[in-house]
């Protein structure tokens, strides 16, 4: 475990040395959830591993253990890189460092207690799987209970290294889902994909939670960004947050004219509503920061050069 952390720390140090005079905002990892889930539980992303019994397009693996091991390594690698930066480079380079996480927002399918608890578990297994160790030094209680011995444990030294290992959190938010409690699976097989005991749906009583993007998973739910920001503020001591990704994709419809294709009013609506809820979150005390852009001389030159066109 230390070997992988050290490799990542060496890579990070090279970046600090080469770019630290210009880069003032460092994010160690972008969406580590994506690596762990899609790379080792579902197998749709590199390296394409998952349990063979799932009968997915993967090349072997164990979806009951590998996603958790991968996340464990990623968190320790992140903490090692942050420790190095803070101890050796931060004061002289005057920068900040954090990590970028991704999460949906989960609404209970109904007001039943079981479904409300399921929505929180869904958040535990996607978002708090990463942010909880960075603030408390351990995984969420629901994960420790449901995953048991398959979930790696941090040593006291590792927990100490993890706690507070960020100056800011980057947040990628796109979609919302309804969550309901799933009956206990009595199958002999276990997988990260079912460990949470949650069923996710884009509809409630036949009514969608929001419109769809081109990606099947992208259920447009602008209020979710506010709910996620306020939840993070309340539970994790109001950290500085950057919205690092947000947006909606669309189908490439070759039948549309150029004028029709350029008229993406739905995207304007998407950003308008999401930014409304971000502003509401700020008004309610969320520490949201933004990077100030300073165009260089070449940018002004390009602007002037392109005017005739």
Under 8 Å between Cβ of 133 and 75: yes
Q: What is the DSSP string of 136-195?
A: HSS--HHHHHHHGGGS----HHHHHHHTT--SEEEEE---EEEEEEPPPP--S---HHHH
pLDDT for 272-283, tens place per residue? Answer: 999 999 999 999
Percent of the chain with pLDDT over 70: 97
pLDDT band at residue 104 using 50, 70 and 90 as cut-offs: very high
Quick check: bond before 47 cis, omega within 30?
Answer: yes
The residue to which tokens 């992208």 are assigned: 218
Active-site annotation, residues:
31, 245
How high is the pLDDT of residue 22?
94
* Average pLDDT for 35-43: 97
Phi-psi region of 108 (alpha: psi -120 to 50; beta: other; left: phi over 0): beta
Q: What is the pLDDT of residues 209-244, one digit of tens each?
A: 999 999 999 999 999 999 999 999 999 999 999 999
What is the rounded distance in angstroms from the CA atom of residue 233 to the CA atom of residue 222? Answer: 18
pLDDT digits (tens, 9 = 90+) for 145-183: 999 999 999 999 999 999 999 999 999 999 999 999 998
Please, which pLDDT band fits residue 1 given cuts at 50, 70 and 90?
very low
Q: Of the ranges 127-141, 206-220, 286-300, which one carries the lowest mean pLDDT score?
A: 286-300
Q: How confident is the model at residue 299, as a pLDDT?
A: 80
Name the phi and psi angles at 208, rounded to 5: -65, 150
d(CA 153, CA 173): 29
Q: How confident is the model at residue 309 (pLDDT cuts 50, 70, 90)?
A: low
Amino acid 308: pLDDT: 63
Classify 247 in phi/psi space as left (phi over 0), alpha (psi -120 to 50) or beta: left
Q: What pTM was estimated for this model as a whole?
A: 0.91
């Amino acid at each position: 475990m230390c070997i992988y952390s050290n490799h990542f720390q060496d890579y990070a140090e090279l970046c600090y040395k080469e770019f630290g005079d210009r880069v003032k905002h460092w994010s160690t990892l972008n969406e580590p959830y994506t690596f762990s889930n899609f790379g080792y539980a579902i197998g749709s992303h590199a390296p394409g591993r998952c349990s063979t019994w799932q009968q997915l397009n993967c090349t072997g693996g164990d979806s009951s253990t590998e996603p958790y091991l991968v996340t464990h390594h990623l968190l320790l690698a992140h903490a090692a890189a942050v420790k190095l930066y803070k101890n050796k480079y931060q004061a002289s380079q005057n920068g900040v460092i954090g990590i970028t996480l991704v999460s949906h927002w989960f609404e209970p399918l109904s007001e039943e207690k079981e479904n409300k608890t399921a929505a929180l578990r869904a958040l535990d297994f996607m978002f708090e799987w990463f942010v909880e160790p960075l603030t408390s030094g351990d995984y969420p209680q629901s994960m420790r209970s449901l995953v048991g011995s398959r979930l790696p444990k941090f040593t006291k030294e590792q927990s100490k290294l993890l706690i507070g290992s960020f100056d800011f959190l980057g947040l990628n938010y796109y979609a919302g889902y309804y969550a309901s409690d799933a009956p206990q699976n009595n199958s002999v097989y276990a997988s990260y994909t079912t460990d949470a005991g949650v069923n996710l749906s884009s509809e409630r009583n036949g009514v969608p939670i929001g419109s769809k993007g081109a990606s099947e998973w992208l259920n447009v739910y602008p209020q979710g960004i506010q709910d996620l920001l306020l939840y993070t503020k309340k539970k994790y001591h109001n950290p500085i947050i950057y919205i690092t990704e947000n947006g909606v994709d669309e189908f490439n419809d070759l039948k549309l004219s150029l004028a029709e294709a350029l008229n993406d009013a739905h995207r304007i609506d998407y950003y308008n509503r999401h930014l409304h809820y971000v502003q509401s979150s700020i008004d309610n005390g969320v520490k949201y920061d933004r990077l100030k852009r300073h165009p260089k001389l070449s940018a002004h030159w390009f602007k002037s050069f392109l005017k005739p066109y």
